[in-house]
Amino acid sequence: MIHGVGGLSFPQNELSYNFVEVLDKYFSHVVIQIMFNLYKVHIILDEMIQNGHIEETNKNRILAPLLALDKMSEAH
């Protein structure tokens, strides 16, 4: 799924697995939701990878900014 990500200090298989787990945790119907919420996928990747290095692998910390955005959009 993330074949284009290279040069990382984290083994790609573990990164791919963690990425898919995070997507599964956030999106209920992964494929359909990803198509309509690609910007959220970018937010997830931005939380996980910074400057070509894995910065975060904890799913709850990765999803915290998205959940905060969801709460703000529900409030309006």
Tokens of 29: 């119907």
Tokens 């290095």 sit at which residue?
53
Contact call for residues 61 and 18 (beta carbons, < 8 A) = no
pLDDT tens digits, one per residue of 10-23: 566 788 888 888 98
d(CA 33, CA 56): 23
Which of 23, 32, 29 has the alpha carbon at shortest distance from 59? 23
d(CA 4, CA 12): 11
Full-model pTM: 0.71
pLDDT tens digits, one per residue of 39-50: 999 999 999 999
Number of CB atoms found within 10 A of residue 22's CB: 23
**To the nearest whole number, what is the mean pLDDT of the chain?**
82
For the chain, domains (ranges, CATH) are 12-74 (3.30.450.60)
